[in-house]
Amino acid sequence: MKADPRGVLTGEHFIDGDHACCEGALAAGARFAAGYPITPSTEVVERFAARVPTVGGTFIQMEDELAASITLQGAVWGGAKAFTVTSGPGFSLMMEHIGYAAMTETPCVFVDVQRGGPSTGLPTLPAQADMMQARWGSHGDYAVIALCPNSPQECFDLTIKAFNLAEEFRVPVMFMMDEVVGHMTEKVVIPPADQIEVTPRKHTKKSVEEFEPYNTNGDMVPEIAHAGEGYKFHVTGLTHDERGYPNMTPQTQDRLVRRLQNKITSAADRIAMFEEADLNDADVVVVSYGITSRVAQRAIDTAREQGLKVGKLRLITAWPFPEKKIRELAGRVKAFVVPELNLGQMALEVERAAGGQAKTFSLTHAGGSVHHPEDILKVIVEASR
Amino acid sequence: MSTDLNTALLNDDVANPVEPFLRTDRMPHIWCPGCGIGTTVNCFARALIESKVDLQSLALVSGIGCTGRVAGYVALDSFHTTHGRAIPFATGLKLANPKLNVVVYSGDGDLAAIGGNHLIHAARRNIDLKVICVNNLIYAMTGGQTAPTTPDHATTSTNPYGTFEPSFNLPHLVEAAGAVYVARWTTFHVRQLARAIGEAFHKKGFSFIEVISPCPTLYQRRNKLGDGLDTMKYYKAKSKVRNGAPTSDVGLTISGEIIVGKFVDRDRPDYQNLMHAQYVDSLGDRFVEPMEAEAVCS
Ligand SMILES: Cc1ncc(C[n+]2csc(CCOP(=O)(O)OP(=O)(O)O)c2C)c(N)n1
Ligand code: SF4
Ligand SMILES: [Mg+2]
């Protein structure tokens, strides 16, 4: 369906990534946010708080992130598209409810504007060190989708995408920004509402008698109903059967948990988004994402000028990880160079997917600033040898 | 309540009138013999019959615990959430669809310990929720550990030599935080409890009903307070009805008097009224009423 024009601020804007993310959420149809202030993410909800009563919706500032991350899920079951926004310490507090969203298949978006950690770390400075937490942070086996924008324009475009994927797969989608992307101001073009595709909720058309809340009817993703519609359904974080009833047997557990994972992994190729350039003749591929991809671009350009055969693969989806793409490249390139603002998180995935066919150079940085392009260039040179 | 219904409720031979409110396909339930939780559910169902609330727009939200399992047994839209977070979940549900009548049904540990922060803030905001707190003075589901409600010197699995922490007086806490309706009954007071739940349904704002309830398996037995029946006798003998009692006076002890009754019944604008008024006042014509749920579906 097309976006509700009331939420779409069509035109050219000069705004930062946080604000663009908010506009993306509104364009995607989000009419509910629950949040708790934390730098460098607060601007997203500040803008939402100002905008949403003029487009028909609700913002509530909760007493903590534990509350915010479940309040939004109540809103989803009440019929809203909903999200929350946070950074490191708040993201840590939200982990239990990311698991709850995964288990109950509550479509929603968690925005994490990454800052330096662990703990309070670097409240105002960038990092990309929550990438593994986004994937694995809640206990148990489950799957999520995580997107990494590298510009305010993408903060807008990909936030819409995040909501659409959340609805399509009924999963929590992690929107992994970083402090620099969140606070960088650039031109953002917001198209007219009739050019914005939004994914409607997978609402059931079944009768009250026919409807079973977790029966996928042969599909991977079940249909949903909202409270108050007469279905009288049950939702639980306990292991449950197709009726949504607790059923704590190894068989039900196996069926449910595998489906929660498989609905994402089986669609990984379709979900995976990346940007590539100069891969055809590449000896070395720089794999990067978020703000680091923009620093890496400089290093790649310089390397090319120096005659090095270096290509670029920018991850837009971090999870599911574009494994197939890496594996395919690993068969024909010498090495991957993976700069990131952490001590080597996605580099582990690259290495794993490469399966020993190509070398992986992890270019770590503890956060607080960005890499120097020179440092990336040096590793490209080394990897090309 | 009609006498017929009363008789029916008390007589096992007659088809149970509360059955339509339960997921009979989930029976038998998990609760122990002598447990008070089932009694509270019976009262809840009676209140549904008597107050004639629209069941389609009624949603029930529980946290985790023996009481938290209530959500799984009622034939309503029901949500079994995470430990302590029933209130914030219910807050989101209510705000997204204000037409819903939202009941939170959970235990003392869930609502007052891990969820204590949400309890006071929801009362402060005066979110239109009906909270039923089954207070068995213990963490039952996990095996009888000390709760913030465990009274003086009671023995628990984590205070094997007796507790010494002062406990919460929940009516006092929620009144101070802003609740508009506060009552306490025990599982002995089935009619009063059903009536109180019915009253709360017709109240707009944060309503809190504490039900003192036995956990013979883990609390009474360990404290040599007898079984479920002995506890009923204790409730009968030691309960004093004092409607309007100052909540500062209603703290509980291990074997002393239990003050029951309706303590608070007042009116103040609820969160959604306040929000609406503020937006209309500040934004005037620019204010747009929150969108309805159908809008997210194609
Ligand atoms: C985050 C989290 N911590 C701990 C638990 C374990 N746990 C389950 S129920 C419970 C206590 C429940 O006590 P109460 O709310 O009083 O309910 P009751 O069982 O007494 O009805 C605890 C600690 C949990 N499920 N989740
Ligand atoms: S353990 Fe206690 S509270 Fe839980 S079902 Fe048994 S008696 Fe009831
Ligand atoms: Mg308890």
- What is the sign, positive or negative, of the torsion defined by CA atoms of B218, B224, B229, B233? negative
Ligand 1 site residues, Cβ closer than 6 angstroms: B 64-67, 83, 107-110, 134, 136, 138-142, 147
Write out the DSSP string of A243-303: TS-B---HHHHHHHHHHHHHHHHTTHHHH--EEEES-TT-SEEEEE-HHHHHHHHHHHHHH
CB of B75 within 8 Å of a chain A CB? The answer is: yes
Rounded Cα distance, B61 and B73, in Å:
12
Classify residue A63: in a domain, yes or no: yes
Residue of A8, A32, A70, A163 to mutate for B, most B C-beta atoms under 10 A: A70
CATH, range B17-269: 3.40.50.970
Task: Return the pLDDT at B291.
Answer: 78
Distance A98 CA to ligand 3 centre (A): 26
3-class secondary structure, A333:
coil
pLDDT tens-place string over residues B31-59: 999 999 999 999 999 999 999 999 999 99
Mean pLDDT for A314-329 is 97
Task: Return the pLDDT at B297.
Answer: 79
Classify residue A239: in a domain, yes or no: no
**Best probe residue, ligand 2, of B136, B156, B157, B219 (max atoms within 8 Å of C-beta):** B136
Mean pLDDT for A233-245 is 98
Q: Which of A195, A221, A256 is the last residue of a domain?
A: A195
Classify residue A234: in a domain, yes or no: no
Claim to verify: residue A16 and residue A148 sit in the same structural domain: yes
Q: What percent of chain A has pLDDT over 90?
A: 100
In angstroms, what separates the C-alpha of A62 from chain B's closest C-alpha? Answer: 8
Two tokens, residue B249: 């006076």
Task: Return the pLDDT at B14.
Answer: 54
Averaged pLDDT of chain A: 98
Decide if pLDDT at A82 tops 80: yes
Mean pLDDT for A24-34 is 98
Q: Which of A153, A174, A195 is the last residue of a domain?
A: A195
Classify residue A170: in a domain, yes or no: yes
Q: Which residue of A has its CA nearest to B73?
A: A234
Rounded Cα distance, B155 and B197, in Å:
32
Classify residue A253: in a domain, yes or no: no
Rounded Cα distance, A79 and A242, in Å:
21
CB-nearest partner of A78 from B56, B76, B92:
B92
CATH number of the domain to which A147 belongs: 3.40.50.970
Task: Return the pLDDT at B289.
Answer: 92
pLDDT tens-place string over residues B166-195: 999 999 999 999 999 999 999 999 999 999
* pTM for the structure as a whole: 0.97
Classify residue A264: in a domain, yes or no: no
Classify residue A50: in a domain, yes or no: yes
Structural domain boundaries enclosing A137: 11-195
3-class secondary structure, A59:
strand
Sketch the domain layout of chain B as residue ranges: 17-269
Claim to verify: residue A68 and residue A173 sit in the same structural domain: yes
CB-nearest partner of B97 from A71, A78, A233:
A78
Please give the single-letter amino acid code of residue B182: V
CB atoms within 10 A of CB B57: 17
Classify residue A216: in a domain, yes or no: no
Residue of A55, A58, A84, A239 to mutate for B, most B C-beta atoms under 10 A: A58
Q: Which of A147, A165, A195 is the last residue of a domain?
A: A195
Task: Return the pLDDT at B216.
Answer: 97
Task: Return the pLDDT at A256.
Answer: 98
Task: Return the pLDDT at B293.
Answer: 65
One pLDDT digit (tens) per residue for chain B, 298 residues: 333 434 444 444 457 888 889 999 999 999 999 999 999 999 999 999 999 999 999 999 999 999 999 999 999 999 999 999 999 999 999 999 999 999 999 999 999 999 999 999 999 999 999 999 999 999 999 999 999 999 989 999 999 999 999 999 999 999 999 999 999 999 999 999 999 999 999 999 999 999 999 999 999 999 999 999 999 999 999 999 999 999 999 999 999 999 999 999 999 999 999 999 999 999 999 999 987 766 787 6
Tally of structural domains, chain A: 2
Task: Return the pLDDT at A65.
Answer: 98
Decide if pLDDT at A364 tops 60: yes
Two tokens, residue B50: 């008597």
